[in-house]
Amino acid sequence: MTNDGSIGPDALFHGPDWTPRPEFLDDVRAFAAEDRWVTEWQYTSKGTDEILPPRAQLVVWLDYPYRVVRSRLLRRTLGRSILRTRIYNGNVERPIWRLVATRDPEENILAWQTRTLGHWAERMPGIADDFPHLTIVRLRHPREADAWLARIRD
């Protein structure tokens, strides 16, 4: 669960011991069938591309600089690892030593971030072409996100 009590995509995808949940796509289909929903669009290689874009209206693309993403990822991951914080489905971040002991993206979230760095920049033009009904808002820095949120609140 997230801080606001909602269930995020990681909680749907990862079961105990970080194993993929077989019900993942069924759960995605169920929440995407609702009239209103918000999600992080990740796990695109897991089949969500056929479910989410046809039903979505708006994509808010947080295309932040590497240093912003890396610093936030480090802070969150290290904090959770040191405190052994339970995240969802009983999972906890890997121990800190695992972050430096392996470069396997399945074991190391920092390696995963490096591997997937240009993923959305490569994919988004095709998504825009394939789903012309989507409004895509690309925000390149947290300041842009703050300004955009302030505008839509007013």
Residue 101, Cα to own-chain centre: how many angstroms? 24
pLDDT at 107: 74
Amino acid in position 61 = W
pLDDT at 48: 86
pLDDT at 114: 87
Closest CA to 25 of 12, 15, 37: 12
Our CA angle for 6, 111, 13, nearest 5°, is 30
pLDDT at 6: 52
pLDDT in tens, 36-70: 988 888 777 668 888 999 999 999 999 999 999 99
pLDDT at 68: 96
Residue pair 105/93 in contact by the 8 Å Cβ criterion? no
Which residues of the chain fall short of a pLDDT of 50? 1-5
Rounded Cα gap, residues 99 and 109, in angstroms: 8
